[in-house]
Amino acid sequence: MTTDLPHAPEYAEPVVDWHRLDVRMLIVRPLNELVGLVPLMVGLLVLGGGETWRILTSLGVIAAIVLFGLLRWLTTRYRITTEQVEMHTGLFVRKRLAVPRDRIRTVDLTAKLGHRLFGLSAIRVGTGQRDQPGEDGLTLDAVSSAEAERLRVLLLTIAKAENPAVTEVAEQRPGVVLSKWDKRWLRYAPLTLSGLVAAGALFGFVMNFARELDIEVFDPMTQAAHWVADQPIGLTIALFSGVVLLVATLGSVLVYVVQFWGYQLTREPDDTVRVRRGLLTTRSVSVAEQRLRGVELVEPLLLRAGRGAHAKTVTTGLGRKGESNLLLPPAPVTEAHRVSAAVLRQDESPTTTPLRRHPLAALRRRLVRAVVPLLVLAAVLAWFAPSWAWQVVLALVPFSAALGWDRYRSLGHALTDRYLLARAGSAIRETVALQRTGIIGWRVSRSFFQRRAGLVTISATTAAGDGAYHVIDVAEADGLALADEAVPDLLRPFLER
């Protein structure tokens, strides 16, 4: 035997320490959860008239929450090796999550109010793997803001991961600001209707709360309603629309400020695009630039009328929840084009490319869809309902037809040297600029009626964003030529003249 030979040195895997989440989470998590339970607590303690079991229940709930937070902190640990990010969590159901570092596409830092009071931040790592829906990536909730910032830079610096020196340098250089908060943008807030939605939600919440607490709100409201109803009809309408308008405007400005305060879009030295925003809950979403597959411009009808737009990124690795793909809040449409160009590193934004109109058959389809259902409804109502009902429906036809006309005018497509452009929609008009190299397949669909009109809908499938972007109701030959040219050689073998 060759025992006298020296042993080969044992392979030593670099030891990487396990970290715990920040200890301050012991306070912050119960705090965040308790804020949500305040109404319940108030209900139990104040209105219960101090019955013992209610107080005991409340204390029990608080104790459970604190204990849960403690267990969570004790059992959660994470480490970052050269290959992957690992996290272990859970006491009864132990979970071990590992994300390969070269699969990391996005890093999302979120700090709720509770987090911010204690200088903490939750960090979510997105991979864009869609094998298990809802299980995309992993979330560390939470670490200190400084640690979160360090992790953000570290995790997105894929190629330079082995060389810490480079990372240090990258950390010190500031990013290039592409766009930032402008208070003049607030004039677009009322055009988003978010105020109405927020007011509606708040109204529902207050009513629900009031019913829980047995506060009599209906009587005064009924009285007010009676008083209003007694006034002349003109005054009632004026008053009502005035109040709604006021509430909607104030609400939407408030929502805009809360969501987008301190908005800043930067390109970081490590080639990531980073969006920071938020008044109470601050968010910072970083997207690796090489994973950016394009930009989508969104123009809801009202916003479009005011020459405004907002923009989204088309990228892999972002959850659909919570608008994490936001690139630009509602702002002037010129700003949206400028930001798109800057983010995509183009001189001219592809979104300003003139689009090819779709054939008139597409207009016919839009008009038929806009008008026929209303006519059918009117006919049915004329049969069953009082005569004013079908007259009202008939009066809506011109508006619906106008919307159909606008839907047709929105349709369009184009091809630039790097991007495929498609636009559609009226109530929410969306213009997508999709990188041609990001297209990973085609779907060509033709319904029975489309076939009669000689139209098809071409969908480019992609790993990013919505998964597929559609060129709707395009002439068959034009659509196929577009697809063929956008991705050379993919469609060619299956085409014939």
Partner 1 sequence: MDGVSSEVLRLRAPRHQVSRKSITLWTLHALIGWTVLLVPQLVVLIFASSPWQFAAAIATLVLGTAHTLVMPRWRYRVHRWEATPDAVYTLAGWLNQEWRIAPVSRIQTVDTKRGPLQQLLGLSTVTVTTASAAGPVHIEGLDHDDAVRLADELTTTTQATPGDAT
Considering the rule CB under 8 A, would residue 467 count as an interface residue with partner 1? Answer: yes
In the complex with partner 1, which residue's Cβ is closer, 309 or 464? 464
DSSP per-residue string spanning 344-399: TT-SS-GGGSPPBPPPHHHHHHHHHHHHHHHHHHHHHHHHHS-HHHHHHHHHHHHH
Residue 324 found at the interface with partner 1 (CB under 8 A): no
482 touching partner 1, by CB under 8 A: yes
319 binds partner 1 (CB under 8 A): no
Using the rule CB under 8 A, is 406 a contact of partner 1? Answer: no
- Choosing from 36, 76, 485, 488, the residue that interacts with partner 1 (CB under 8 A) is 485
Q: Residues 434-453 vs partner 1: string with x where CB under 8 A?
A: ------xxxxxxxxx--x--
Q: How far is CA 388 from the centre of its chain?
A: 42
* Dist. CA 60–CA 71, nearest whole Å: 16
| Closer residue to partner 1 (CB): 251 or 438 | 438
From residue 416, how far is each of 296, 425, 486 by CA, in Å? 15, 21, 9
Residue type, 172: Q
State phi, psi for 193 to the nearest 5 degrees.
65, 5
Grouping H, G, I as helix, E, B as strand and the rest as coil, residue 408 is helix
Q: Does 161 participate in binding partner 1 (rule CB under 8 A)?
A: no
Count of residues of this chain found to bind partner 1 when the rule CB under 8 A is applied: 38
Q: Which stretch binds partner 1 (CB under 8 A): 69-77, 232-240, 263-271, 464-472?
A: 464-472
Q: What is the DSSP string of 102-149?
A: GG--EEEEEE-HHHHHTTEEEEEEE----SSTT--SEEEEEEEHHHHH
Residue 301 · residue 403 · CB < 8 Å = no
Helix (H) or strand (E) holding 457: strand 455-462
Residue 316 near partner 1 by CB under 8 A: yes
Closer Cβ to partner 1, 51 or 102, answer by number: 102
Return the residue of 128, 319, 322, 425 that touches partner 1, per CB under 8 A. Answer: 128
Q: How far is the CB of 443 from partner 1 (least distance, A)?
A: 5
Q: Does 495 bind partner 1 (CB under 8 A)?
A: yes
Instruction: Measure the CA–CA gap between 293 and 464, rounded to whole angstroms.
Output: 7
Q: Least separation, in Å, of the C-beta of 167 and partner 1?
A: 23
Integer Cα distance of 420 and 407 in angstroms? 20
> Of 257 and 415, which CB lies nearer to partner 1 in the complex structure?
415
Q: Would you count residue 222 as binding partner 1 (CB under 8 A)? A: no
Distance from C-alpha of 332 to C-alpha of 304, rounded to nearest angstrom: 9
Q: Smallest distance from the beta carbon of 370 to partner 1, in angstroms?
A: 21
Kindly state whether residue 57 participates in binding partner 1, applying the rule CB under 8 A.
no
For position 489 contacting partner 1 by CB under 8 A, the verdict is yes
β-pairing, 326-332 vs 272-277, is unpaired
Q: Answer yes or no whether residue 496 interacts with partner 1 by CB under 8 A.
A: yes
Using the rule CB under 8 A, which residue among 32, 462, 471, 473 binds partner 1? 462
User: Considering only 10-18, 378-386, 388-396, 476-484, which stretch makes contact with partner 1 by CB under 8 A?
Assistant: 476-484
Q: How far apart are CA 120 and CA 359, in angstroms?
A: 55
CA distance 175 to 167: 14
| Shortest CB 452 distance to partner 1, Å | 11
Does the protein bind partner 1 through residue 478 (CB under 8 A)?
A: yes
Binding residues among 75-114 for partner 1 as defined by CB under 8 A: 103
Binding site for partner 1 (CB under 8 A): 103, 128, 130, 316, 415, 440-448, 451, 459, 461-463, 466-468, 476-478, 480-482, 484-485, 489-491, 493-497
